[in-house]
Chain A
Amino acid sequence: MIEVKNLTKYYGDFLAVNSINFKINKGEVVGLLGPNGAGKSTTIRMLTGYYTPSDGEIFINDISVKDEPIMIKSFIGYIPESSPLYKDMVVYDYLKFIAHIQNVPDNLIAERIDFVVEKCGLEEVIYKKVGELSKGYKQRTGLAHSIIHNPQILILDEPTSGLDPNQIIEIRELIKELGKEKTVLLSSHILSEVEATCSRVIIINRGNIVADGSTEELLKTFTDVEKFIIKVKTKDDTEKIKNLLKIENARISVADGALKEIVISLPKTNEIEETIYRKIKETDWILYEFRKEEQSLENLFKELTMEDKNV
């Protein structure tokens, strides 16, 4: 449905998106995850034709965006971050206007408006100006905007940013609902959001895809690695600590402080706790804390997108 090949975007000399490839199949709900400035919005803006890629190609339904920009846009429902709609228009007029320019046949417009108003729960605000709506309703209007022409693909940039927790849950439910019949690509820097709404996650950092897979798959790869956090009081320096704790295949990092915090990550092995404990016992360190870190998508995200400052 969506296929991206070597997609690259430069802003002047700055490389925002670095030759990424991915494919999204019909019916998938995909989360594009990454910290702020990772290239999510840039990628999305290229998919929706707002930006021209510096290099690479995008195919939607096997049609190149480059060749048929206008036609492609009619397959896609897109709403940018924080729904910047026309503030001075009444919701009903706005939806009608969008229906017109999105090629909804005249005789179906009333029907489509009724449908999206009901689906997005806009009955109460239909005669209010967009500029007077609360953020939650504004976001709903944005979603109504994006589905008015019944597109096969829905692209949402940070659909829940700036909403309160209740509104977030409502919008998520709405996206899930829409995801039943449409292919959805949404971007977010909030993990729980992606975990809650998406079946697949693409993690992007500094313009590169660092992970791509189903939510469970990603968690599984990650849980094959174990991580221990040890806090000790010692006068030994980083080098010495690393030497004393040397374990095969393990990555050790040490953070300074009143207590030294040692992080050991290594592939899952039996009785590794014992090995580590014995090694510590041989030293003159005073042990304050020794724990195994819980595995979650949150940690995976941190691991993949943060610079390892301690090493």
Chain B
Amino acid sequence: MFNFKKTIYITKKELRSFFYSPVAYIFICIFLVALGWLFFSKFFLYNQLEMRDFFNILPIVLAFVIPSITMGLFAEEFSSGSYEVISTTSVSTLDIVIGKFFAAILFMLIALLPTIMYPLFLIFLGDLDLGPIAGGYIGSIFLISALVSIGMFASSLSKSQIVSFIIALSISVTLCLLLGLMKSITPPFLVDLIDYFSFSGRFGNIAKGILDLRDISYFIAISVVFLFLTYQNLELRKIG
């Protein structure tokens, strides 16, 4: 059913095809500029040497950029027909889903990697607490995995990349931004519920430097749920 070796081949292939097109490099540039600008535009106002704000912004930026990376994962293959080619070779649907999932996560981590420069620079400015920063980066992996799985699910719904993008964007922005904004206008008994589901809330804890297993497992659970839905969706396509 699940063949790890084949999954890795698919991951490699997908990751390479991200970098085959110039879009990947443009994407990474825009991503880094947006993130850097949003972070440093406020950084000097507080006169505090920490990256908490960086990790507060991160979910919002990711909610906008990950759908653009994941939208093509299946939608493009459906519309070009290459999905038929790959799915009739001896790989299972699960190999394909997991392979693509890993590839998109790795791509996002590569895009995020240059931001390591920030703490490296900040160290020279003063006494920087590296614990929360390390925690933040570890937490980011799980945040990215949840958002990627949502994007993949959206991509498996449609032949159109635009439709996939909009679906993924709606879900991710709701979870990463809207729920947080809604908190002030929600009746108090619902606030806990919002806190439970809100990505920004969950990741806020991580940004503070609290790497809570409950938050991590929430992101893992979201990933598993959407990967499962993607898988089901692909299996349903066989019925025609």
Contacts and interface: CB of A to CB of B under 8 A. Distances in A.
A127 interface: no
A137 interface: no
Given A70-B90, A89-B13, 6 more contacts: A73-B88, A84-B80, A84-B85, A87-B80, A88-B21, A103-B90
Interface string B10-22: 1001001100110
Contacts, number: 75
Interface stretch (A25-33, A74-82, A199-207, A210-218): A74-82
Contacts of B89: 73, 98, 101-102
A84 B82 contact: yes
A288 interface: no
A101 B88 contact: no
Contacts of A51: 238-240
A42 B238 CA distance: 11
Given A73-B90, A86-B17, A101-B91, A50 B84 contact: yes
A275 B178 CA distance: 88
A49 B16 CA distance: 27
18 contacts: A11-B240, A42-B240, A45-B84, A49-B88, A51-B238, A51-B239, A52-B240, A70-B91, A79-B85, A82-B81, A85-B82, A85-B85, A87-B80, A89-B16, A89-B20, A93-B16, A101-B10, A145-B85
A50 B238 contact: yes
Nearest to A73: B90
Interface in B91-110: 91-92, 95
Interface of A: 9, 11, 42, 45, 48-52, 69-71, 73-74, 76, 78-80, 82-89, 93, 97-98, 100-103, 145, 149
B9 interface: yes
Q: Which 5 A-B pairs have the closest CB atoms?
A: A84-B81, A74-B90, A88-B20, A73-B90, A52-B238
B174 to A, nearest CB: 32
A98 B87 CA distance: 11
B81 to A, nearest CB: 3
A88 B17 contact: yes
Given A9-B240, A101-B6, A50 B17 contact: no
Contacts of A86: 13, 17, 82, 85
Contact of A101 (B9, B238, B240): B9
Contacts of B17: 86, 88-89
B176 to A, nearest CB: 30
Contacts of A102: 89-90
Among B16, B17, B85, the one with the most A-chain Cβ atoms within 10 Å of its Cβ is B85
Interface in B42-87: 80-82, 84-87
B167 to A, nearest CB: 23
A100 B9 contact: yes
Contacts of B95: 101
B20 to A, nearest CB: 4
Contacts of A88: 17, 20-21
Contacts of B16: 89, 93
Nearest to B20: A88
Contacts of B80: 84, 87
Contacts of A45: 84
Contacts of A74: 90
A76 B13 CA distance: 22
Contacts of A87: 80
A256 to B, nearest CB: 42
Interface string B211-240: 000000000000000000000000000111
Given A80-B84, A145-B85, A52 B90 contact: no
Contacts of A73: 88-90
Nearest to A82: B81
A163 B159 CA distance: 26
Contacts of A9: 240
Interface in B177-228: none
Contacts of B238: 49-52
A88 B89 CA distance: 19
A97 B20 CA distance: 15
B239 to A, nearest CB: 6
A85 to B, nearest CB: 6
Given A70-B92, A86-B82, A50 B9 contact: no
Given A97-B9, A97-B13, A71 B84 contact: no
A45 B13 CA distance: 25
A142 to B, nearest CB: 8
Contacts of B88: 48-50, 73, 76, 78, 80
B85 A101 contact: no
Interface string B120-157: 00000000000000000000000000000000000000
